[in-house]
Amino acid sequence: SCDQYTEPLLMLLSSLPSDEKVVLVGQSTGGLSLAIAMDKFPDKISVAVFATAFMPDTKNSPAFVVDKFFREAPPEAWMGTEFVPYGEDGVSMSFSPEFVKKAVYTSSPKEDIELVLLLKRPGSLFINELSKREKFSEKGYGSVPRAFIVSKDDKALTEEYQRWMIDNYPADYVTEMEGTDHIPMISNPQLLTQRLLEIGKKFA
Protein backbone atom coordinates (compact mmCIF):
# COMPACT_ATOMS: atom_id res chain seq x y z
CA SER A 1 0.00 0.00 0.00
CA CYS A 2 0.99 3.64 -0.33
CA ASP A 3 1.18 3.96 3.48
CA GLN A 4 3.52 0.96 3.75
CA TYR A 5 5.65 2.40 0.94
CA THR A 6 5.90 5.73 2.80
CA GLU A 7 6.25 4.32 6.33
CA PRO A 8 10.10 4.40 6.53
CA LEU A 9 10.04 8.11 5.67
CA LEU A 10 7.34 8.83 8.25
CA MET A 11 9.29 6.91 10.91
CA LEU A 12 12.39 8.96 10.14
CA LEU A 13 10.49 12.25 10.44
CA SER A 14 8.81 11.20 13.68
CA SER A 15 12.23 10.45 15.20
CA LEU A 16 13.65 13.92 14.49
CA PRO A 17 14.23 16.27 17.45
CA SER A 18 11.53 18.94 17.72
CA ASP A 19 13.96 21.71 16.76
CA GLU A 20 15.30 19.96 13.65
CA LYS A 21 14.04 20.33 10.08
CA VAL A 22 14.96 18.52 6.88
CA VAL A 23 14.96 19.15 3.14
CA LEU A 24 12.92 16.34 1.57
CA VAL A 25 13.40 15.33 -2.06
CA GLY A 26 11.06 13.11 -4.07
CA GLN A 27 11.36 11.92 -7.67
CA SER A 28 8.64 10.39 -9.88
CA THR A 29 6.09 8.59 -7.65
CA GLY A 30 8.15 9.70 -4.65
CA GLY A 31 6.26 12.98 -4.92
CA LEU A 32 3.21 11.20 -3.50
CA SER A 33 5.23 10.05 -0.49
CA LEU A 34 6.47 13.62 -0.06
CA ALA A 35 2.88 14.88 0.05
CA ILE A 36 1.87 12.30 2.68
CA ALA A 37 4.89 13.22 4.82
CA MET A 38 4.25 16.96 4.40
CA ASP A 39 0.63 16.54 5.44
CA LYS A 40 1.62 14.63 8.57
CA PHE A 41 4.81 16.45 9.62
CA PRO A 42 4.68 19.99 8.14
CA ASP A 43 6.77 21.44 10.98
CA LYS A 44 9.65 19.03 10.36
CA ILE A 45 10.24 20.03 6.72
CA SER A 46 11.95 23.26 5.65
CA VAL A 47 11.25 22.62 1.95
CA ALA A 48 9.94 19.71 -0.13
CA VAL A 49 11.62 19.29 -3.51
CA PHE A 50 9.69 17.63 -6.34
CA ALA A 51 12.30 16.49 -8.86
CA THR A 52 10.32 15.60 -12.00
CA ALA A 53 7.81 14.12 -9.54
CA PHE A 54 4.05 13.85 -9.20
CA MET A 55 2.94 16.93 -7.25
CA PRO A 56 -0.66 16.74 -5.97
CA ASP A 57 -2.83 19.69 -4.94
CA THR A 58 -5.27 20.37 -2.09
CA LYS A 59 -8.37 20.92 -4.26
CA ASN A 60 -8.71 17.44 -5.74
CA SER A 61 -8.29 13.81 -4.73
CA PRO A 62 -4.68 12.77 -4.00
CA ALA A 63 -4.97 10.56 -7.11
CA PHE A 64 -5.88 13.48 -9.41
CA VAL A 65 -2.48 14.22 -10.98
CA VAL A 66 -1.63 10.52 -11.45
CA ASP A 67 -5.07 9.72 -12.83
CA LYS A 68 -4.82 12.55 -15.37
CA PHE A 69 -1.38 11.31 -16.43
CA PHE A 70 -2.75 7.81 -17.08
CA ARG A 71 -5.91 9.00 -18.83
CA GLU A 72 -4.00 11.22 -21.24
CA ALA A 73 -1.22 8.74 -22.10
CA PRO A 74 -2.19 6.67 -25.17
CA PRO A 75 -1.69 2.88 -24.76
CA GLU A 76 1.17 2.87 -27.26
CA ALA A 77 3.09 5.35 -25.08
CA TRP A 78 3.68 2.54 -22.57
CA MET A 79 5.58 0.47 -25.19
CA GLY A 80 4.48 -2.93 -23.93
CA THR A 81 4.60 -2.19 -20.19
CA GLU A 82 2.51 -4.82 -18.35
CA PHE A 83 -0.32 -3.84 -16.00
CA VAL A 84 -1.43 -6.63 -13.64
CA PRO A 85 -4.23 -6.52 -11.02
CA TYR A 86 -3.27 -7.35 -7.42
CA GLY A 87 -5.16 -7.39 -4.11
CA GLU A 88 -8.71 -6.04 -4.00
CA ASP A 89 -8.34 -3.20 -6.49
CA GLY A 90 -4.63 -2.57 -6.98
CA VAL A 91 -2.76 -2.53 -10.28
CA SER A 92 0.97 -3.18 -10.58
CA MET A 93 3.05 -2.20 -13.57
CA SER A 94 6.20 -3.77 -14.95
CA PHE A 95 8.10 -1.56 -17.38
CA SER A 96 9.04 -3.15 -20.70
CA PRO A 97 12.72 -3.00 -21.75
CA GLU A 98 11.68 -0.63 -24.56
CA PHE A 99 9.93 1.74 -22.13
CA VAL A 100 12.95 1.69 -19.81
CA LYS A 101 15.32 2.62 -22.65
CA LYS A 102 13.14 5.01 -24.69
CA ALA A 103 11.10 6.79 -21.99
CA VAL A 104 12.73 6.51 -18.57
CA TYR A 105 16.53 6.26 -18.95
CA THR A 106 17.00 8.11 -22.24
CA SER A 107 20.11 10.06 -21.16
CA SER A 108 21.58 7.57 -18.69
CA PRO A 109 24.78 5.53 -19.20
CA LYS A 110 24.27 2.19 -20.98
CA GLU A 111 25.76 0.19 -18.11
CA ASP A 112 23.21 1.69 -15.70
CA ILE A 113 20.36 0.83 -18.06
CA GLU A 114 21.57 -2.79 -18.30
CA LEU A 115 21.69 -2.98 -14.51
CA VAL A 116 18.16 -1.57 -14.25
CA LEU A 117 16.88 -4.21 -16.68
CA LEU A 118 18.44 -6.93 -14.51
CA LEU A 119 17.09 -5.56 -11.21
CA LYS A 120 13.72 -4.02 -12.15
CA ARG A 121 10.61 -5.12 -10.24
CA PRO A 122 6.89 -4.40 -10.63
CA GLY A 123 5.73 -1.16 -9.01
CA SER A 124 2.47 0.70 -8.43
CA LEU A 125 1.10 4.24 -8.64
CA PHE A 126 -1.57 3.41 -6.03
CA ILE A 127 -4.27 5.22 -8.03
CA ASN A 128 -7.26 3.34 -6.59
CA GLU A 129 -5.97 3.65 -3.05
CA LEU A 130 -5.14 7.35 -3.42
CA SER A 131 -8.57 8.08 -4.89
CA LYS A 132 -10.14 7.00 -1.56
CA ARG A 133 -7.91 9.16 0.63
CA GLU A 134 -8.99 12.54 1.94
CA LYS A 135 -7.62 15.55 0.09
CA PHE A 136 -4.25 16.82 1.26
CA SER A 137 -4.80 19.76 3.62
CA GLU A 138 -3.70 23.38 3.26
CA LYS A 139 -2.84 23.32 6.97
CA GLY A 140 -0.45 20.39 6.51
CA TYR A 141 0.72 19.70 2.96
CA GLY A 142 -0.12 23.19 1.70
CA SER A 143 1.83 24.95 4.46
CA VAL A 144 5.24 23.48 3.52
CA PRO A 145 7.36 25.41 0.97
CA ARG A 146 7.61 23.48 -2.30
CA ALA A 147 10.28 23.59 -4.97
CA PHE A 148 9.95 21.86 -8.34
CA ILE A 149 12.88 20.79 -10.52
CA VAL A 150 11.75 20.43 -14.13
CA SER A 151 13.64 17.81 -16.14
CA LYS A 152 13.28 19.28 -19.61
CA ASP A 153 14.19 16.13 -21.54
CA ASP A 154 12.10 13.69 -19.50
CA LYS A 155 10.23 11.43 -21.93
CA ALA A 156 8.20 9.66 -19.23
CA LEU A 157 6.85 12.61 -17.21
CA THR A 158 7.14 15.17 -20.00
CA GLU A 159 8.11 18.80 -19.49
CA GLU A 160 4.60 19.78 -20.60
CA TYR A 161 3.05 17.60 -17.91
CA GLN A 162 5.48 18.79 -15.24
CA ARG A 163 4.62 22.41 -16.05
CA TRP A 164 0.90 21.59 -15.99
CA MET A 165 1.31 20.32 -12.40
CA ILE A 166 3.13 23.55 -11.49
CA ASP A 167 0.31 25.62 -13.04
CA ASN A 168 -2.27 23.47 -11.27
CA TYR A 169 -0.71 23.99 -7.83
CA PRO A 170 2.07 26.60 -8.06
CA ALA A 171 5.35 25.80 -6.32
CA ASP A 172 7.23 28.45 -4.34
CA TYR A 173 10.35 27.96 -6.45
CA VAL A 174 10.85 26.41 -9.90
CA THR A 175 14.15 25.57 -11.54
CA GLU A 176 15.03 23.31 -14.45
CA MET A 177 17.64 20.95 -15.83
CA GLU A 178 18.53 20.29 -19.46
CA GLY A 179 19.93 17.01 -20.74
CA THR A 180 18.41 14.98 -17.90
CA ASP A 181 15.90 12.17 -18.26
CA HIS A 182 13.29 10.86 -15.80
CA ILE A 183 16.06 9.67 -13.47
CA PRO A 184 18.27 12.76 -13.00
CA MET A 185 20.23 11.18 -10.13
CA ILE A 186 21.67 8.80 -12.74
CA SER A 187 21.58 10.84 -15.96
CA ASN A 188 23.21 13.95 -14.42
CA PRO A 189 23.83 13.67 -10.66
CA GLN A 190 26.18 16.69 -10.66
CA LEU A 191 23.54 19.03 -12.07
CA LEU A 192 20.86 17.63 -9.76
CA THR A 193 23.17 18.16 -6.76
CA GLN A 194 23.78 21.75 -7.89
CA ARG A 195 20.02 22.42 -8.08
CA LEU A 196 19.42 20.83 -4.67
CA LEU A 197 22.15 22.94 -3.07
CA GLU A 198 20.60 26.09 -4.59
CA ILE A 199 17.21 25.16 -3.11
CA GLY A 200 18.72 24.20 0.25
CA LYS A 201 20.47 27.58 0.54
CA LYS A 202 17.26 29.40 -0.32
CA PHE A 203 14.93 27.60 2.09
CA ALA A 204 16.92 25.75 4.76
Q: Of 28, 61, 108, 151, which is the active-site residue? A: 28
Q: Of 57, 153, 182, 187, which is the active-site residue? A: 182
What H or E segment, with its residue span, contains residue 177? strand 173-177
Q: Of 124, 154, 181, 187, which is the active-site residue? A: 154
What angle, 0 to 180 degrees and rounded to 10, lies between the N-to-C axes of helices 30-40 and 2-14?
50
Q: Measure the CA–CA gap between 107 and 71, rounded to whole angstroms.
A: 26
Is 28 among the catalytic positions?
yes
DSSP H helices, the chain, are 2-14, 30-40, 64-72, 97-99, 110-119, 127-131, 159-168, 184-187, 189-203
Is 182 among the catalytic positions?
yes
Is 94 among the catalytic positions?
no
State the catalytic residues.
28, 154, 182
